[in-house]
Structure 1
Amino acid sequence: MKLPEFGVNRPVATTMLFLGVLVLGIICLMKLGVDLTPEIEPTRVTVATVWQGASCEDVEQKVTRVLEKRLGSVANLDEIRSSTSEGRSNITCQFAWGTNIDEASNDVRSKIDAVKRNLPEDVDDPAIYKFDSASMPIMVIGVTARESIEKLYEIIDDEVFQPLQRLEGVGAVDAFGGLQRQINVTLSRERLAGYGLTLRDIESAIANENQTLPAGNLKVGIIEYTIRILGDYVDPEQIKEIPLMQKDGAIVRLKDIAQITDSFKEITQYVETMGRDGMIMIVQKRSGANTVEVCEAVRTELSRLEAVIPRDIEFFIVNDSSTFITQSIDNVKGTVYWGGLFVILVSFFFLRNIRTSLIIVVTIPFSLIIAFCFMYFMGWTINMISLSALAIAIGMVVDNAIVVLENITSHVNRGVRVREASMFAASEVGLSLLASTATTICVFLPLVFVEGASGIMFRQLGGLVTATLLASLGCALTLTPMMSSILLKSIPRSKREIEEAGKKQSWSRKFYMRTEGYFLSFERAYGNLLSFCLSHRGTVVILSALVIAAAMLTIPFVGTEFTPDQDTGEMNIRFQLPVSTRAELTAHTARKIVDTVYQKEKELVANSKGQISPDEFGQPRDSALRFTNWRAGRSSGGWGGRGSHIGQVNIKLLPL
């Protein structure tokens, strides 16, 4: 093969080539995103329909079932699910993997257009949403205030929303809770009847007065002015003076039949964080943005905003997706580091030579660096699957280099010069290395062609192991011979060389000679075991068959699941009361749940006898709860409850 000859004859070119790969790999590694798992985008379309004021039964009978019947005939539909609540219907269509999401949404839209005439007249037009993992919240932020509680929504809307939405990678910021300003008009039924007015008359009068109208242009000399009639309300007192009618020569104004107050919208959802009223903000990332980087940018911006907004307003990170991702990735990184360290130690233990161990160890980083380049150009991220693939491959990348080095050393011990041995010994085993690498690749490469969610998860595993093994093969046939020709030494031949070598007994040579007896004893023991197996072939075959049968019998007792359970320390409690229960009672139930949690937490802390470990930041603590947050009632946003009877409690737990 020509690769070993190229590596040995052109050491400078080989060194520069691998250094270039090293620099490119480091750049690619710095640009790689970090995520928990590969991005999975199922083909899912949701149809949301709102029917204000309708009961759950009416929505189910006249909206949900009508749409379900029509959507059931959409092509490539795998599963259809629906949920109905007060005034709202949600139908989710799950399509087969590989279905084009745009074509699926167009098919759903055409079916809905054909069935619209069968829906009640006052039903809003059904809205179609294509599922995107970016639409899932990556961070939930609780906001509380003391003195500024009445102006909290206005402050957050003006001072917080816009800066957060301008951050790179942030797709949207949604919020619910808080008091929103509203001018309330409370009508007197008796006065309405006395003047012969209706609610429609009042509504039309308010709408007609609250508008700014264009009034044409005015030309004066060389200047042309645009004229407008300003009619938008700027003060609640203006609303009181709205004329409604003229009776007996007197003008009847709105203040004559109604009471106008500058107040707040009716509270339909209650939110509390750490026992205080407040708001909840939902942060979503843009499609393709890195979750960890976006969350870090949001946390930094919140720290800056705390100096701008009133001091009594506090932010609590209720849910941060990047925390669990970072912890999980760090754990797997630690496994990879320890695996690499033990590979190095094992290589040195068996080779017992610094130079030969260095030749083997160098193949590890170069093989992994090439894998990082492959990940970057494939558009993959550093996640649990990719790091697991590297952890598997890190023990395989040294195999080819060990085979090449062993053959080179064997030729050198037979008297061949190091330079010639490095070229010809590597060429001798080149075809064997290619065959052995190909057999291993044949195990992992088919994972690239698996379809569905499993294919998305394991495509990176198969692709990365394949790329890493090919990189290790290239290193073994070029880098290993080149380094061997430089670092290995020829055995002494003349009497003078033998005498000088005998005088220079380095510590590594002494270690080699002292441990050589143990390795020879191990070889003899293995030879005896091999002789016994060859002499008792039937017994060995029977024992092997029994072991395989015993292993097969344990398969039914091994559980199966898509992904292992994950303990993030977060507990979410979603509860429902009887339909049409008032939001106030739902909020009272949420408070009782939180009180029960705090009571149980005090009992656990008391039983721990004060032996509570510090938190992840090293700070002392006396509680097992990081925060509590709950929300109850109906919300206009997509992440709130969809009925006054629905509530949710979020609790962040800390280990005792």
Structure 2
Amino acid sequence: MKLADISIKRPVFATMMIAALIVLGLFSYQRLNVDLFPDVDIPVVVIQTVLSGAGPEQIETDVTQVIEDAVNPVGGIDYIQSQSREGVSIVIIFFELEVDDRAAAQEVREKVAAIRADLPLDTEDPVIERYDPASQPIVSVTIAGKRSEKDLTTYVKDVIRKRLESVPGVGAVELVGGAEREIQIEVDADRLQAYSLSINDVINKIGAANFELPAGNIDQGARQLLVRTLGRFETVEGFSETIVSENGDRVVRLKDVARVIDGVEERESLSRYNGKSAVSLEIRKQSGSNTVVVADRLNDEIERLKQEIPADITITVASDNSIFIRNSVHDVLFDILYGGLLAVLVIFLFLANVRSTIISAIALPTSIISTFTLMYAFGFTLNVMSLMGLSLAVGLLIDDAIVVIENIYRHLHEGKPPMEAAHFATSEIGMAVMAVTFTIVAVFVPVAFMQGIVGRFFLEFGITISVAVLVSLFVAFTLTPMLSSRWLRKEDEELTNSGGPLRRLLYWFNHGFNLLNNRYQIILKWALGHR
């Protein structure tokens, strides 16, 4: 084997190659995103259209069918589902898995925009969204306080929400519950009729009085100042004094025909904390960001907010998905470490030699750490599926090194010097070790390319195992023969019934195994002779 010969003759070169793999692996590990499951793009686009007051039959005829006919020509559609309810039309488009969901969503937006004029005049603009499993809230925060719901909601919107939106990695912060401020105008129909006015007169006058208008620019040398007229009402009294009608000396103001109320919007959601009304914030991360890192940043910002907000307001983290993700990943990492230690213990039990055990065991962390480089290059994340692949590969990663070391021991026992033993041993079994490794790869690579959504989830699983096994093959042909040629000695193989309890235990275990091996040879010879 050329690679093994180069490593034996040039140990510094072999060491630096393995060191480079480890450094790149550690560098990549720090930049891998952590999530519960792989980031799978499911090509589904949802179109939601609201037409207030319309019945299901009208929604079906005037909205749903129009949208379905518009998006039907879009390429790559698998099938379309639609729901027509009172006042709402929901059209769900399922694309084939090979379709780019972002490009498909953009094409759907263009098709819907082209038929926007065909929808009823009172129809709200259709909301078109991609289905993204990763867009679920990662942290939910509940804010409660000893003040009115309106004041609490205003404080949350103006202070707390803006602070959390500025945290790096946060994509959106949605407010749930609370009572947002709303200026309500209750018109008295009898008074309106007495003044010979209509409801449209009131609407037009309020709209004309409550708006801002650009007023041009002012040049000051090298500077240019933007001027605009400030026409929006700043107080509730401003609405009440709005002139609705003016006829000579008779001036009709809004307060003469209506009652202005500084109220709250109609509630569409509710949040409670310890049985009392509260305000909640559901925080979503940006696409592709690290869930655990973003959650940690949010928790740090929340701790800073607790020190700055008024004493009558309390902030509580109601749910944090990163805790479950962190615990799940920690459990899998612990299983990898525990499995690796048991594998090394079994190797030591059979080889009964510290040096050979260390040489074999080096292949385990080297292969796992080096695999992180390819995971980062492929855009994988540290999730349950990819780490499960590494945990299953723990026993496979050390096989190649064990076979190489065992054959080197055999040549040492025959009297060859360590350098020569490492050379001949690796050359003899090189093809066999490669065949075993490529067989394992041939088993797991097809798993990564299964069809359907399941295949998307198992992609990282299959590729991770295959890459780890291939790295272990490279280590077995470079680092293992190089260390064996310089560290193993023939006398290391000798095992006597003397010394400490551990050495005697190893002696009797291997002695019993040798007796079993002799019996097996007798049975095998008899079986071959009586075919």
Contact 2:363–2:397 under 8 Å retained in 1 = yes
Deviation at 1:247, TM superposition (A): 3.9
Contact 1:244–1:252 under 8 Å retained in 2 = yes
Task: Report 1:31-110 matches (<5 A).
Answer: 31-68=31-68, 70-72=70-72, 74-109=74-109
Measured at CA, do residues 297 and 357 of structure 1 come closer, stay the same or move farther in structure 2, by a change above 3 Å?
Answer: same
Deviation at 1:142, TM superposition (A): 2.5
Cα RMSD, aligned residues only: 2.9
Measured at CA, do residues 160 and 529 of structure 1 come closer, stay the same or move farther in structure 2, by a change above 3 Å?
Answer: farther
- Deviations along 1:127-183, whole A, 9 cap, x unmatched? 322333443322222322232533111111111111111111111111132112222
Deviation at 1:26, TM superposition (A): 1.4
Taking structure 2 as the reference length, the TM-score comes to 0.91
The corresponding residue for 1:251 is 251
Deviation at 1:534, TM superposition (A): 5.8
The corresponding residue for 1:291 is 291
Q: What secondary structure is seen at the aligned counterpart in 2 of 1:47?
A: strand
Measured at CA, do residues 60 and 525 of structure 1 come closer, stay the same or move farther in structure 2, by a change above 3 Å?
Answer: farther
Distance 2:355 2:471 in 1: 22
Measured at CA, do residues 188 and 15 of structure 1 come closer, stay the same or move farther in structure 2, by a change above 3 Å?
Answer: same
Contact 2:176–2:270 under 8 Å retained in 1 = no
Q: What secondary structure is seen at the aligned counterpart in 2 of 1:410?
A: helix
The corresponding residue for 1:514 is 508
- Deviations along 1:389-447, whole A, 9 cap, x unmatched? 11111101111111111111111111111121112211211121112211221111223
The yes-or-no answer on 1:430 pairing with 2:430 is yes
Contact 1:437–1:469 under 8 Å retained in 2 = yes
Q: What secondary structure is seen at the aligned counterpart in 1 of 2:89?
A: strand
Distance 1:112 1:191 in 2: 45
Distance 2:496 2:220 in 1: 112
Task: Report 1:561-580 matches (<5 A).
Answer: none
The corresponding residue for 2:280 is 280
Larger helix share, 1 or 2: 2
Measured at CA, do residues 99 and 148 of structure 1 come closer, stay the same or move farther in structure 2, by a change above 3 Å?
Answer: same
The corresponding residue for 1:211 is 211
Measured at CA, do residues 528 and 58 of structure 1 come closer, stay the same or move farther in structure 2, by a change above 3 Å?
Answer: farther
Q: What secondary structure is seen at the aligned counterpart in 2 of 1:128?
A: strand
Contact 2:496–2:504 under 8 Å retained in 1 = no
The yes-or-no answer on 1:379 pairing with 2:379 is yes
Residues 173-182 or 359-368, more deviating? 173-182
Task: Report 1:621-636 matches (<5 A).
Answer: none
Measured at CA, do residues 409 and 281 of structure 1 come closer, stay the same or move farther in structure 2, by a change above 3 Å?
Answer: same
Contact 1:363–1:475 under 8 Å retained in 2 = yes
Q: What secondary structure is seen at the aligned counterpart in 2 of 1:37?
A: coil
The yes-or-no answer on 1:150 pairing with 2:144 is no
Taking structure 1 as the reference length, the TM-score comes to 0.75
The corresponding residue for 1:591 is none
Distance 1:529 1:321 in 2: 59
Contact 1:169–1:285 under 8 Å retained in 2 = yes
Contact 1:47–1:90 under 8 Å retained in 2 = yes
The corresponding residue for 1:138 is 138
Amino acid at match of 1:64: T
Measured at CA, do residues 214 and 109 of structure 1 come closer, stay the same or move farther in structure 2, by a change above 3 Å?
Answer: closer
Distance 2:385 2:219 in 1: 71
Distance 1:92 1:438 in 2: 44
The yes-or-no answer on 1:523 pairing with 2:517 is yes
- Between Structure 1 and Structure 2, how many residues are aligned? 530
Residues 435-444 or 255-264, more deviating? 255-264
Contact 1:306–1:314 under 8 Å retained in 2 = yes
Give percent identity, aligned residues only. 35
Q: What secondary structure is seen at the aligned counterpart in 1 of 2:125?
A: coil
Amino acid at match of 2:365: P
Task: Report 1:383-532 matches (<5 A).
Answer: 383-491=383-491, 510-527=504-521, 530=524
The corresponding residue for 2:234 is 234
Task: Report 1:515-594 matches (<5 A).
Answer: 515-527=509-521, 530=524
Distance 1:27 1:100 in 2: 31
- Deviations along 1:7-45, whole A, 9 cap, x unmatched? 222223322332232222212111111111111111111
- Deviations along 1:216-238, whole A, 9 cap, x unmatched? 57899999987654322112222
Amino acid at match of 1:36: L
Contact 2:497–2:503 under 8 Å retained in 1 = no
Contact 1:64–1:90 under 8 Å retained in 2 = yes
Amino acid at match of 1:125: D
Amino acid at match of 2:77: L
Deviation at 1:525, TM superposition (A): 4.5
Amino acid at match of 1:314: T
Distance 1:419 1:507 in 2: 33
Measured at CA, do residues 268 and 413 of structure 1 come closer, stay the same or move farther in structure 2, by a change above 3 Å?
Answer: closer
Contact 1:364–1:397 under 8 Å retained in 2 = yes
Deviation at 1:378, TM superposition (A): 1.4
Distance 1:319 1:43 in 2: 28
- Deviations along 1:574-608, whole A, 9 cap, x unmatched? xxxxxxxxxxxxxxxxxxxxxxxxxxxxxxxxxxx
The yes-or-no answer on 1:171 pairing with 2:171 is yes
The yes-or-no answer on 1:362 pairing with 2:381 is no
- Deviations along 1:546-591, whole A, 9 cap, x unmatched? xxxxxxxxxxxxxxxxxxxxxxxxxxxxxxxxxxxxxxxxxxxxxx
Q: What secondary structure is seen at the aligned counterpart in 2 of 1:6?
A: helix
Unaligned runs of 5+ in 1: 493-497, 538-656
The corresponding residue for 1:29 is 29
Measured at CA, do residues 254 and 483 of structure 1 come closer, stay the same or move farther in structure 2, by a change above 3 Å?
Answer: same
Deviation at 1:250, TM superposition (A): 2.2
Q: Which has the higher contact order (CA 8 A, sep 6+)?
A: 2
Deviation at 1:201, TM superposition (A): 0.5
Contact 2:164–2:301 under 8 Å retained in 1 = yes
